[in-house]
Amino acid sequence: MVSNESSFLDRRPLNVRARWGSEDVALVSGRDVFGAMKYKGAIALAANARHPLTVKGILKAAKKLDAAVVIEIAKSETNYCGSNFDTLPEAAVRYSSEIGHGAVFALHVDHYGIKGYDDVIKAVSDLGRIVRNGWTSVAIDASHLPDWENLCATRDVAMHVPPYFGLEVEVGEIKGAGELSTVEEALYFVGGLNSWSIFPDLLAISNGSLHGTYDASKGQAEGIDLKRTKEIAEAIAPYGVSIAQHGISGTAIDKCAEFSKYGINKGNVATLFQNVLFGIKMDQETGNAVIEGDSYVKEPDRGIPMDLWNDLVSWCDDQGYSRKDGNYKKANLPFWERIESLPSERLDMIVEETQWWAERFIKAFNAEGTAEIVKERMSSRENWNPFPDTKVQASRGDFGADKAPNAAKKDGEDYSD
């Protein structure tokens, strides 16, 4: 046990202390969370909070089970959700305070998409705001680009991420079953970053998962290839990098419980928590939305009330979305204030179900007790800074444009959330 709670709080990232020094919020670096998961052989539940209310359920579960967790939002999600880079940190600290603080968590910018030079420049500008707002971890996603360009863009943005932040990078877009990153691609990418003194904690790969709902009528099914995942994890392990699993919604809890054996230390869950918020009928073993008659199924006694759901459906109809369309996620922004103003009894019900799912994942991920590990590791080091003791192993000459394994398969789609 940590004998001096204040010593742990004094080791929080400087940007957190600069903004919330008077709060006992246990907001820590992603590097500390991911390090604790590697130490225990566990997986951090990383929840995309498309509505801020999701945060409260996640933090309640984390506090109850003494688990370190990650609250995140993707850059693309900030365009259609009430949560964004400005509002989500405030909401997280507010909900942490409401439950009496004590929940250990990182704030992670998920899928900061880079598709060209202009995005690199914008990222450099955005990162100043991200640091000031109290975020503590970033995922740079330039996977849409050919391998050499991905390496260069990721390197250029990563050089502007504080070294005390958690860092996730990505090779291979998340497109579904059969779409697999290769060991060669992963080694080229991670080795190339290492040659420039960029030391990621995590690598996101394309290993057969899909963002959103698996629609059986379209032939979609969960296809996470754990054999390929392990091959990549073992190849990049000498660089101190492990795997971030994206697209977990729709994956059986029993399979999720096996992930840590394959080098996975972070697990992203987004659509499932949106299903909870909206009250969409779900498969209880996977969290996948149930589709009947080419439509999602709304359950009246879960999530938002029926009158609000009917208004949401009408809005989606007006946008031209089918009633089983993944674009239902875009209803988050126009309806987030109405959801926020629902009676407390309804909000409590949503929080309770969110917490129930979060607890299931935390237990399956072997993450119980990881909050205490984070505290112990932070309190025992010489100073607050979690920058890893990692050395440059690779030579830049081995990772030039002529050594790139392949070109990206561009199809104009956005796979970032």
pLDDT tens string 324-360: 999 999 999 999 999 999 999 999 999 999 999 999 9
Bridge partners, residue 51, by sequence: none
217 pLDDT band (50/70/90 cuts)? confident
User: What was the pLDDT predicted at 49?
Assistant: 98
Predicted TM-score of the model (pTM): 0.95
Residue 119 scores a pLDDT above 80? yes
For the record, the structure tokens of 111 come out as 């899928």
User: What was the pLDDT predicted at 412?
Assistant: 56
Nearest-angstrom CA–CA distance, 37 and 334: 37
Kindly list the domain boundaries of the chain, sorted by start residue.
5-213+228-384
3 pLDDT band (50/70/90 cuts)? very low
CATH superfamily of domain region 5-213+228-384? Aldolase class I (3.20.20.70)
**% of the chain exceeding 90 in pLDDT:** 88
Output 205 or 209, whichever has higher pLDDT: 205
pLDDT one-digit tens code per residue, 371-401 = 999 999 999 999 999 998 888 999 999 999 9
Hunting for tokens 């990721």 — which residue is that?
154
Nearest-angstrom CA–CA distance, 73 and 417: 9
272 pLDDT band (50/70/90 cuts)? very high
pLDDT one-digit tens code per residue, 65-100 = 999 999 999 999 999 999 999 999 999 999 999 999
Residue 110 near residue 73, CB atoms below 8 Å: yes
Nearest-angstrom CA–CA distance, 187 and 18: 37
Mean pLDDT along residues 293-310: 97
User: What was the pLDDT predicted at 389?
Assistant: 82
CA angle 133, 22, 98 (to 5 degrees): 80
Contacts of 413 (CB under 8 A, 6+ apart): none
* Alpha-carbon torsion, ordered 369, 370, 371, 373, to 10 deg: 100
Backbone angles phi, psi at 329, to 5 degrees: -60, -25
CA angle 371, 1, 351 (to 5 degrees): 30
Output 247 or 233, whichever has higher pLDDT: 233
Residue 374 near residue 103, CB atoms below 8 Å: no
Residue 156 scores a pLDDT above 80? yes
- Residue among 373, 354, 262, 256 nearest 47 (CA): 354
Residue 230 near residue 6, CB atoms below 8 Å: no
Mean pLDDT along residues 175-190: 89
Query: 10 Å Cβ neighbour count for 262?
Result: 21
Residue 2 scores a pLDDT above 70? no
Residue 150 near residue 408, CB atoms below 8 Å: yes
Residue 28 scores a pLDDT above 70? yes
Residue 309 scores a pLDDT above 50? yes
415 pLDDT band (50/70/90 cuts)? low
Average pLDDT, the chain: 94
User: What was the pLDDT predicted at 238?
Assistant: 97
Cα dihedral sign for 346, 350, 351, 356? positive
Mean pLDDT along residues 251-262: 96
Query: What own/partner pairs with CB < 8 Å and gap ≥ 24 does 231-235 have?
Result: 231/183, 232/181, 232/182, 232/183, 232/186, 232/203, 232/205, 232/207, 232/263, 233/262, 233/263, 233/264, 234/263, 235/183, 235/186, 235/187
SS3 291: strand
Nearest-angstrom CA–CA distance, 294 and 202: 37
408 pLDDT band (50/70/90 cuts)? low
